[in-house]
Structure 1
Amino acid sequence: MTTSLADHFRALPDDGLMALIRLRPDLVIPPPSDFSALAHRAQSRVAVARALDGLDTFTLEVLDALRYTRIGHTTSTESVLTLTAASGVEAARVRGAIDLLVQHGIAFGHDSALRVVGAVDEVCSPYPAGLGRPAAELDPLAGALVADAARLRRTLLAAPPAARAVLDRLAAGPPVGTVTPASLRSDPDSPVRWLVEQHLLVAVSRDAVELPVEVSLVLRRDGGPLGQLHPDPPQVQTPTRDAAQLDRAGAGQVLELVRNLETLIEAINADPPTVLRSGGMGVRELRRFAKLTGVDEPAAALLVEIAAAAGLLGEEIIDNKRVESVFLPTVAYDVWRAFGIAARWHRVAVTWLTMTRAPSLIGQRDDRDRPINALAPELSRPGAPAQRRAALQVLSELPPGATIAPSDVVDLLSWRTPRRVSRGAAAVVEANLAEAALLGLTGFDGLTGFGRLLLDEVVSGSIDTDDPLGLHAPDGAALTGSAALLDTLLPAPVDHVLLQADLSVIVPGPPEPTLAGELELLGVQESASVHRITAESVRRSLDAGYTAADLHALLARRSRTPVPQTLTYLIDDIARRHGGMRIGSANSYVRSDDETLIAEVLADRRLQPLMLRRLAPTVLTSRHTPARLLEALRDAGYPPVQEDATGAAVLTRPKARRGPPRPSWAHRGIEDPAAAARLSSPRLAGVIEQIRRGDAAARVARRAPVTVRANGTSTASHTEALEVLQQALRDKTRVWVGYVDSHGATASRLVRPVSMGGGYLRAEDERTEMLHTFALHRITAAAPEDASG
């Protein structure tokens, strides 16, 4: 019973309780009032499922053995050892697994009377060890068959190959299979029909059959009643490379990552995409940005998700009436861009490790068969950080330089946490490893040195995951251990370029931030290390306020090679013509000191749609806007420059639009939410002391027992009454319920609980054959039917 579990917790020493809470920290968040509340929480469906999710395959197999060997509600260690001996597993390994289950609070009691908490049967398969029900319980004819061992063996030997394949599959578990009703009635060649007719299988419904446990045991005679057990993790290949080689590969990928992320955000800044009504980014926009960045769509989707989670990408409302928004870089992006490459990578990698987003799901279909878009709310997955940590933890346990295939990582995780790594989760593990490789955390399927340090930093909590950009730190660009190690592997930032005769600019390394800004304005990027100076890029620099002398000085200062004469001529020629024509508002006007040029413009037939008027020998006006006039003149081959009301040239360096950060999905620590509290030993001791004091106070302050039967049977607190009712619901037994009716009078009734939830207990009174509903807050006491008076 649940009170027995409370007594078990109450009898544990402080060290034992500390071990329990460290294994299951969710039990004390918030701290329970006493041991009864702790036991009630420990055996709830959610808590038990969470505890089982962290157990390995062998421990779960031993748990199945405990469930299978139960007689009533108890079993014994000796019974489990007898059952597992046939599988060749050492008794010490089995005892260790049982001890682990006891430490988790899944099993409790003595070796001769072990009990399993009731919720285990609710969250696990109804067929322990994959064994079905006894034949006599399923069908009398099947019971007669298995009672005759010789006849059973002869029938099994006579089974056709197809029928034997069905038996072997069901014997491995689960013992229930589905079939089409027609194959059981009208298909003479159906192997399932043959098995049912021979009573080796029993039809339990129109489309389901079950294999009796006796037949399963005969088929498992070689591997033991429990089948093949797995006390050890699978053997995997871990070829070793030079650790420095992995680090160099990861560092090269870091350079590519930072460049691609910056290119992507700049592309979004140049042409902001509209936010969909569902909250995400459209498929065509994502495809367009992937093409501009030079990466595939999954990589672009990952970069977009990381940028938004890190606060580098936000939204700006452009139409309040129609509630339209666009994606834009944020101010934090400007701060991030000013950092060095190692610092920028560090912010991105920490964000990926801690964000509760699953980029690998982009492009898949949701429950309504609609594609999932990037930045859509449907991508939120609270368990995503723990999944990434689990996959990288496998690599971190290998020695430096060791590598492992992603499929082997899936196999190891499938053994360590089989309830978490299902078939669908296997694809998630491989996707997480692919993303880690894209971020440079791994290289050649092995964990890099700086990736290993970063994982330790995040797991240990030495990084503030609530401020992944470090904006609130005294020195946001300060390098931590992992970033400092990466910085030694990256080429040093350069402040110079190599000019070529074909007007290409070679950057022999990652440019420092100032040089990167100059190159963005002066040249057109063709690759990671090559820019090209064109007439358009020179004009763009002049529009931004540079003069020809400034550009000559800039190139002479930055270039380690002589400035090509053709480039000098190009700059001087464009600068000489640049600004020879001015544009203003008349709605707009054109003026020039060159009367011949003005006459040429006025006579140009290509410009007739502008409806130019000559106000003076050197001035033309138009009803079009200055921007439209400027564009048309440049398209016709003229070199105009816009001026303001004072006649000064207007600098056209584009103003960077910035939007506020998106309402971010909360970052989670790398552990589960409960474990994120990182309970220290002093805090654990305080929690345990609080529970013990609360338990002692509950005993002292417990009110007088409430009579629920004529013979005096009673129970204590409301909490214990609910625990008794929950256990009776699991065991399907009758209980006495004491309650306060609608008139304020106390009453009692002997009932069998049917369901409990939503604040009500629904129970059947077998004597009157009526179904009663009790409000849980009105129940004052509960006691089993067989409790002593």
Structure 2
Amino acid sequence: MSEVTDLAADLAASSDPDLIRLLEARPDLLAGASDIAALAARALSRLSLQRALETLDRPHLGVLEATVVLAELGDGAPVTSETLAAALPGVPTAVLTALIADLSALRLLSTTGAGSAAVRPASALTDALGLHPAGLGRSLARLVAGSPAATAIRQRVPAARVAGGPTAVADLRALLATAPAGTAELLDRFRSTPVAELRNATRPPGPADTDPSDPVAWLLHHGILVPIGGDHVELPREAGLAARHGAVHPRLPLDPPSADGARVPDAVRDNAALAAIGECLRLLTVLHEETDRRPLATLRAGGVGVRELRRVARTLGVDEAAAGVLIELAAVIGLLVPDESHPEHRAVTAPAWLDAPRAEQWTLLAAAWRASRRVPALAGTTRPDGATVAPLSAEAGRPDAAAARERLLTTLADLATERPGAALTDDVLRERVAWRWPRSSARLLPLVPAVLTEARMLGLTGASALTGAGERIAVGDDAGATARLGAVLPPPVETVLLQADLTAVAPGPLSREAARTLASMADREGRGPAEQYRFSAASVQRALDGGQDAPALLARLRRLSPGPLPQPLVYLVEDTAARSGRVRIGAAAGYVSVTDPAELDALLALADGPGTDRLRLRRLAPTVAVSALAPESLRAELARAGVHSTREGTLPPEDAGTGPAGDPAPGPEAEPDSEPEPASAAAEFVAALRRRAADPPRPGRPDPETATLLDLHLIRAATRDGQALTVVTVDATGNQRRDVLVPLSVTGGRLRAFDPHRDAERVISLPRIVEVLPA
């Protein structure tokens, strides 16, 4: 427990700014540590260390790997700065000192000795880094102990070499100098991984296997390659270091890969991005309108089927891959929602997003995409089993999509800052991600093509270069993105060209009001920024059914047209209106009946007054009017206006679960929880720790959370060192039991331990453990 105690003392002696910087760099430590001791135990846990490793770039990770390898090689002794510098020959002294300081600030390394001349890694880093840090294998002693050919290796290899350590590295370096030709090239294949496939690796050696001119036979004979299974061998850590001439990282890349692609002119970039933004917003609007007319059918197993996807692609005028991305984006922004009673997705009625300004529309869409757990570009791709990922299916989502997308966007922003206007291709982003996030690259790299595709369709990039608004989105500055985009977006078009062939052509993106006016009385045709609408008897009838009459429709069209209306269009509206309206129907939920027509006139004047029409009245007779409000709601609005009313029992009572037209009443929009800033959260956490430390000491064991963390750390330390512990457990009836056990492993919430008194293994659930003490 000394390591936890030492770190707790170090944290207690640290300044508040130092602790705040630590918590900002390792935010997982904010998860409920109640005091300094618990914070120290949590910081040294394997899970927290693994999360910290995922934030390191290649230079910091390389220094940490070298320190862990050298510490294990020296049986846990501190690593001096001279030894560490020799293991990293390409790193200047000043750079190495700065990297060590950064790792010490993260409490991944602790300095020891006078003048901080040596460092010691956190003990759990051995487990957190895995079996093969820096691409080196396990120690020779550990490999030989578990090898099927252990007996034969001990007979051929000197005992001092099998014991491992720095002496074995020097011995193997001298031995490799006498290796046959081709051995160096063969060992170079083990630079990235120490494991290789070798047929019949554990077979008994024959005369051919002792051929001194065969590199493989020579390496097996001298124990430089150790069989670990029937068809695999592993290069021990000491042999790997000897092959690298004692260096853990002979060539550690200190500088990030640069964006060497061609530079895109600003005008080309912005024009391409603006075109993509306009097209994306237009297609999402069209998709919402089409889905409002015909819901999007989904498979019972989940996702949009191939036929439905092809129908949507034809309607939008795009290919199936783009249609899948647009469907996913529409669901992300909330334009489409699943129907609980039918296997389909429906359009949300009058979403606020459609009425927002175009710059704000785009920012809301990009921000929702940035925080989404969906990966829209995965729709239409092929899974490893050969199946195709359907839009809106579970396979198009990933729990870590938001975190992975945030790191990729951060990388894009860094590249754009270093070289503005550079083309950020797939290869450029992959190289930078592998350098900046080496421990997370296995998860991030498969998402690179998807993120670049989505960024291009959203208009974050233009001609593969990140735009100014895209850079603001990448760093989370939504207000800045809206301002930058609003400054370059062309204003919406308020007028259209009405032609004699009953078509209307918009020379650019229409304002929301103009688009709504045209969509109510015409059908959209064509594609592209110059939208085209066509008038027909059916489309005009649709507008008339919505409550408009011919004069009102013509008046609205005159406001849209810069010139006089074409005569064929006027005839079409008037003739359609003359044939319709003979039998009219409508919806009403309540009515008002008065004795004097003047009273009804007063109520209608009240409804038509300033502000919102809360009564929603419509006169049917001199003393009768209907309302879209249900009786109880209408009575409440009249009472609010100072009008006393009497409820009649001829209408059914209002259904509290439905609105005026029988649709489900929308619930109140839940405001998103505002998360505190990382700096303020860390400052509050440090202040709470200081207050807890100022309290008088409590006797006995610490609080349960701290005790659990300390016990778990003690178990893991004993597992690594092979030491016995006194473990106090409790059974289902509450009876305590005290045993002396040798921990073997801790996985899945269970402790596997050896009981020397019974000469048997035991498996204990961690919640059953009450206390752990040294034996």
Which of the five TM-score ranges fits, normalised by the shorter chain? 0.7 to 0.9
Listed one character per residue, the Cα deviations across residues 481-539 of structure 1 (whole Å, up to 9, x for unaligned) are 43243233222222222234544422122222232123222344223424253544565
1:330 alignment counterpart: 348
Instruction: List aligned pairs for 1:678-697, cutoff 5 A.
Output: 678-681=677-680, 683-695=681-693
How far apart in 1 are the matches of 2:47 and 2:258? 33
Aligned with 2:296: secondary structure? coil
**CA shift for structure 1 position 316:** 3.0
2:303 alignment counterpart: 280
Aligned with 2:455: secondary structure? helix
1:591 alignment counterpart: none
Is 1:229 aligned with 2:252?
Answer: yes
Q: Equivalent of 1:28, from 23, 27, 30?
A: 30
Change beyond 3 A, Cα 1:504–1:386 = same
Instruction: List aligned pairs for 1:49-448, cutoff 5 A.
Output: 49-70=50-71, 71-85=74-88, 87-110=89-112, 111-112=116-117, 114-133=119-138, 138=144, 139-140=153-154, 143=157, 147=171, 152-157=176-181, 159=183, 165-170=185-190, 172-181=191-200, 196=220, 200-221=224-245, 224-237=247-260, 239-318=262-341, 324-333=342-351, 335-364=352-381, 371-397=388-414, 398-399=416-417, 401-406=420-425, 407-422=427-442, 425-448=444-467
Aligned with 1:74: secondary structure? coil
Kindly provide the amino acid, as one letter, of the partner of residue 339 in structure 1. Answer: A
Kindly provide the amino acid, as one letter, of the partner of residue 110 in structure 2. Answer: F
Q: Is the 8 A contact 1:65 1:129 kept in 2?
A: yes
How far apart in 2 are the matches of 1:734 and 1:336? 63
1:42 alignment counterpart: 43
Kindly provide the amino acid, as one letter, of the partner of residue 128 in structure 1. Answer: P
**CA shift for structure 1 position 553:** 4.9
Listed one character per residue, the Cα deviations across residues 317-370 of structure 1 (whole Å, up to 9, x for unaligned) are 44xxxxx3431111352x322233222222212211121212233245668775
Change beyond 3 A, Cα 1:727–1:564 = same
User: How large is the RMSD of aligned CA atoms in angstroms?
Assistant: 4.1
How far apart in 1 are the matches of 2:756 and 2:729? 18
How far apart in 1 are the matches of 2:195 and 2:749? 35
Change beyond 3 A, Cα 1:208–1:39 = same
Q: Is the 8 A contact 2:277 2:458 kept in 1?
A: yes
TM-score normalised by structure 1 residue count:
0.73
Change beyond 3 A, Cα 1:264–1:140 = same
Is 1:486 aligned with 2:485?
Answer: yes
**CA shift for structure 1 position 11:** 3.5
Aligned with 2:494: secondary structure? coil
Q: Equivalent of 1:735, from 705, 718, 725?
A: 725
2:11 alignment counterpart: 9
Q: Is the 8 A contact 1:269 1:656 kept in 2?
A: no
Q: Is the 8 A contact 1:141 1:199 kept in 2?
A: no
In structure 1, the gaps of 5 or more residues are: 319-323, 464-479, 585-654, 670-675, 705-715
Is 1:452 aligned with 2:471?
Answer: yes
Equivalent residues, number: 661
Kindly provide the amino acid, as one letter, of the partner of residue 344 in structure 2. Answer: V
Over the matched positions of the two proteins, sequence identity in percent amounts to: 32
Kindly provide the amino acid, as one letter, of the partner of residue 328 in structure 1. Answer: R
Change beyond 3 A, Cα 1:745–1:303 = closer
Change beyond 3 A, Cα 1:717–1:373 = closer
Aligned with 1:205: secondary structure? coil
Listed one character per residue, the Cα deviations across residues 256-283 of structure 1 (whole Å, up to 9, x for unaligned) are 1111001112222222133433443333
Change beyond 3 A, Cα 1:77–1:278 = farther
Kindly provide the amino acid, as one letter, of the partner of residue 441 in structure 1. Answer: L
How far apart in 1 are the matches of 2:320 and 2:527? 19
Change beyond 3 A, Cα 1:437–1:777 = closer
In structure 2, the gaps of 5 or more residues are: 145-152, 162-167, 586-659
**CA shift for structure 1 position 56:** 0.5
Listed one character per residue, the Cα deviations across residues 442-501 of structure 1 (whole Å, up to 9, x for unaligned) are 212222222333444x35xxx6xxxxxxxxxxxxxxxx4432432332222222222345
Instruction: List aligned pairs for 1:493-532, cutoff 5 A.
Output: 493-520=492-519, 521-528=521-528, 529-532=530-533
How far apart in 2 are the matches of 1:378 and 1:721? 40
Change beyond 3 A, Cα 1:395–1:367 = closer
Q: Equivalent of 2:743, from 743, 753, 757?
A: 753
Change beyond 3 A, Cα 1:482–1:127 = closer
1:603 alignment counterpart: none
Larger RCO, structures 1/2 (Cα 8 Å, 6+ apart): 1
Change beyond 3 A, Cα 1:570–1:495 = same
**CA shift for structure 1 position 217:** 3.8
How far apart in 2 are the matches of 1:677 and 1:582? 60
How far apart in 1 are the matches of 2:771 and 2:556? 88
**CA shift for structure 1 position 389:** 2.6
**CA shift for structure 1 position 401:** 4.5
How far apart in 1 are the matches of 2:584 and 2:407? 63
Q: Is the 8 A contact 2:750 2:765 kept in 1?
A: yes
Aligned with 2:286: secondary structure? helix
Change beyond 3 A, Cα 1:278–1:46 = farther
Q: Is the 8 A contact 1:184 1:193 kept in 2?
A: no
